């Protein structure tokens, strides 16, 4: 379905409004979801509204004030109080940037919120203020450890944003799983096969059937990217973003409710590159390498999706897939 960007925003805000979400929180979440949709990151675009809504409802009986805890000049933990999760994560990132502007280096954790939305959006927000931003997030357990068929880790994304004077920030945003779990669920809804080598069925055999890759409780059996290397990275993110920030790992997270808000921990870090020395020389070195890569025909992380977003913004419209339309029509 083709839809104007103005109408898309109206309908996304209406969807959040129907949940009873405060306007400020809805605006922040709409910005993030629409940005992902414009980049054609469908798993974190309009489709993510369904997950966000589920988590928001799950948190309703526990909802309370958002609190900043364990605060020092260079650190804090944001207790999201089960408010709308993208709003909480964006609030944490903005607090992080404020602290970094004062201290030069800072970190902020997030708990009691839910799914962050696309991490690239958040680290780009940090990098746009001249800081290097790093994001580590944990998710519900849908990734199997090598040699097992039991989900023990989240898809555990990592994002890094670097400021570039006179240019858009350079952004890497990646899951540590071989495929984003939301893409598995999207293919279940739309039809189609998974790529080879990204998921297992209940017997531990490789499968390209998105239905076979998900158990009766809706929990996936996705592989880490890159075998044991991806597993190792996902494990470390799990231990940091879940173990340290939320205190929830392993069997504690493997409950019947897949979209439990407490199962999404986040840690955001930032630093001012000037702390490391001659910033002008660093920028020259960085731009030199990036220029060499582009001149040789290489592609920089995040650049293709940014160009896609810019094209949609220029056109003022976008085509939504059937799954996204269904979400808006809920």
Give, for all 330 residues of the chain, the pLDDT tens digit: 899 999 999 999 999 999 999 999 999 999 999 999 999 998 899 989 999 999 999 999 999 999 999 999 999 999 999 999 999 999 999 999 999 999 999 999 999 999 999 999 999 999 999 999 999 999 999 999 988 888 999 999 999 999 999 999 999 999 999 998 888 988 888 889 999 999 999 889 999 999 999 987 788 899 999 999 999 999 999 999 999 999 999 988 887 778 899 999 999 999 999 999 999 999 999 999 999 999 999 999 999 999 999 999 999 999 998 878 778 875
323 within domain boundaries:
no
Close Cβ partners of 184 (under 8 Å, ≥ 6 residues apart): 194, 199, 210, 213, 214, 220, 222
328 within domain boundaries:
no
Alpha carbon distance 290, 298 (integer Å): 9
231 within domain boundaries:
yes
Local structure of residue 150 (DSSP, 8 states): S
pLDDT confidence of residue 321 = 84
230 within domain boundaries:
yes
**Partners of 77 in the β-ladder:** 69, 109
**Positive or negative torsion for Cα 128, 132, 133, 134:** positive
Angstrom distances, CA of residue 61 to CA of 78, 82, 208, 245: 19, 9, 38, 22
Close Cβ partners of 187 (under 8 Å, ≥ 6 residues apart): 193, 194, 210
40 within domain boundaries:
yes
29 within domain boundaries:
yes
321 within domain boundaries:
no
Alpha carbon distance 266, 242 (integer Å): 8
**Partners of 4 in the β-ladder:** 317
Digit-coded pLDDT (tens) for 106-130: 999 999 999 999 999 999 999 999 9
Angstrom distances, CA of residue 280 to CA of 97, 127, 129, 251: 21, 16, 16, 49
Q: What is the DSSP string of 222-233?
A: BPBTTTHHHHHH
249-254: Cβ within 8 A, 24+ apart: 250/141, 250/152, 253/140, 253/141, 254/141, 254/151, 254/219
The pTM of this model reads: 0.94
pLDDT confidence of residue 27 = 97
Q: Which two tokens stand for residue 253?
A: 């997270």
> Minimal CA–CA distance to 124: which of 98, 163, 175?
163
Helix (H, G, I), strand (E, B) or coil at 324: helix
The CATH number of residue 242's host domain is 3.30.1370.60
293 within domain boundaries:
no
Question: What is the span of the domain harbouring residue 113?
Answer: 2-276
Alpha carbon distance 233, 324 (integer Å): 31
Helix (H) or strand (E) holding 152: strand 151-153
Domain count, the chain: 1
């Amino acid at each position: 379905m083709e839809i104007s960007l103005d109408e898309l925003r109206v309908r996304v805000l209406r969807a959040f409004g129907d949940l009873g979400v405060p306007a400020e929180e809805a605006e922040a979440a709409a910005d993030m979801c629409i940005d992902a949709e414009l980049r054609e990151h469908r798993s974190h675009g309009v489709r993510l509204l369904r997950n966000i809504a589920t988590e928001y409802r799950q948190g309703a009986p526990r909802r309370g004030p958002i609190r900043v805890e364990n605060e020092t000049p260079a650190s804090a933990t944001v207790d999201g109080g089960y408010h709308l999760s993208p709003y909480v994560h964006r609030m944490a990132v903005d607090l992080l940037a404020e602290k970094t502007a004062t201290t030069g280096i800072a970190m902020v954790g997030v708990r009691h919120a839910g799914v962050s939305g696309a991490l690239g959006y958040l680290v780009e927000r940090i990098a746009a203020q001249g800081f290097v931003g790093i994001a580590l997030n944990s998710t519900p357990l849908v990734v199997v450890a090598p040699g097992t068929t039991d989900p023990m880790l989240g898809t555990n994304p990592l994002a890094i944003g670097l400021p570039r004077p006179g240019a858009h920030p350079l952004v890497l945003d990646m899951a540590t799983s071989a495929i984003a779990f939301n893409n598995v669920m999207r293919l279940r809804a739309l039809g189609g096969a998974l790529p080879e080598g990204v998921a297992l069925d209940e017997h531990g055999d490789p499968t390209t059937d998105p239905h076979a890759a998900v158990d009766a409780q809706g929990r996936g059996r996705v592989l880490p990217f890159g075998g044991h290397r991806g597993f190792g990275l996902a494990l470390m993110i799990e231990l940091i973003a879940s173990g340290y920030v939320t205190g929830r790992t392993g069997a504690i997270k493997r409950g019947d409710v897949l979209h439990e808000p407490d199962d999404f921990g986040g840690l955001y870090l930032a630093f001012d590159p000037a702390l490391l020395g001659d910033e002008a020389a660093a920028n020259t070195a960085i731009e030199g390498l990036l220029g060499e890569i582009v001149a040789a025909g290489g592609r920089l992380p995040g650049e293709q999706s940014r160009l896609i977003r810019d094209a949609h913004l220029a056109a003022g419209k976008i085509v939504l897939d059937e799954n996204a339309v269904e979400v808006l029509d809920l």
